[in-house]
Structure 1
Amino acid sequence: MIWEVFRQEEQGEYHTHCGNVHAPDREMAKQFAAIQHGRRKPTNNLWVVPKTEIGELDGDEYAFGGATDKSYRWATGYDVTADDASEVVESSGEQEDAKERRNEVV
């Protein structure tokens, strides 16, 4: 069975993948990881995980990177056809004026 090994160099830092070990069970995998990956560099902590337990999230399946559409910050991104949207309409006009002034400066 293949076990993936993640090493933490100093307390508080992230664990990084440093390799794998072949072992029949968890205890042997921990021992092999300590010998092969824990003694070569300064090591605070090791994570030893069965390779079959590691899941992958593909960028084609999921959108990573957070919300890049920030139109919610501007009144122009809202529906202003409602009767109670007078403040939004006023703000929209102010933001359009500000946008024109920014373009004039550049």
Structure 2
Amino acid sequence: MIWEVFRQQQEGDNFVHCRDVHAPDREMAKQFAVIQHGRRKPTTALWVAPQEKIAHVAPGMDIEPADGGDETAWTVFRQDRAGGYHTECGELDATGVAEAKQAALDTFTDDDPHSLWVVETEYIGEVTADDVNFGGTTNKSYRFAQTYNVDPAAQEVEASESEQIEAEKQRGEM
């Protein structure tokens, strides 16, 4: 099963789509998301949503008739630019996917021709900094070459240590 991953860089920021992971269930998807998308860049939270539960809609698209049901919360993501990533832009309440698509178009498009994704909020799994210790950069010390010419290796060690210190500062560990 494919899970789309959304990353929040700083608390209060919108979640931005950052690719996907393959996992059999939500818990594994959250773990894989942390490993693949939460270790290199500053991250405060990740969302995962099953790709099959994300509905795509764009201005001018025909929307199937309303399907009814109980009103639920939906999260909406707007594409940044043609071919770009989708960024969280808000929530709405709707009784089904068709109504959610129409409400998203009415609420979040204006003159913006880019596509929208809508997903029922209950399908989104969240991982926060309270759950895991996100990285910020990867420790590259395993790559240090053992050589007679120590200057390049020393420069790489110094650069990596600086990156680690900066990442720890951003995470508030220093």
Shorter-chain TM range is 0.5 to 0.7
Tell me the equivalent position of 2:135: 64
Structure 2: 5+ residue stretches without partners: 1-71, 155-174
**1 or 2, which has the higher helix percentage?**
1
RMSD: 2.3
TM-score (norm 2): 0.41
Question: Structure 2 CA distance, aligned partners of 1:71 and 1:33?
Answer: 47
**Rg larger in 1 or in 2?**
1
Tell me the equivalent position of 1:35: 106
Tell me the equivalent position of 2:114: 44
Question: Structure 2 CA distance, aligned partners of 1:43 and 1:9?
Answer: 10
Runs of 4+ in 1 over 2 A off after TM superposition: 62-66
Percent identity over paired residues: 38
TM-score (norm 1): 0.63
Contact 1:3 1:21 in 2 (8 A): yes
Contact 1:21 1:33 in 2 (8 A): yes
**1 or 2, which has the higher strand percentage?**
2
1:7 corresponds to which of 58, 72, 78: 78
Number of aligned positions between the proteins: 81
Matched residue of 1:57: which SS? strand
Question: Structure 2 CA distance, aligned partners of 1:48 and 1:35?
Answer: 13
Question: Structure 1 CA distance, aligned partners of 2:101 and 2:79?
Answer: 15
User: Displacement of 1:63 after TM fit?
Assistant: 2.8
Contact 1:2 1:51 in 2 (8 A): yes
Structure 1: 5+ residue stretches without partners: 76-87, 100-106
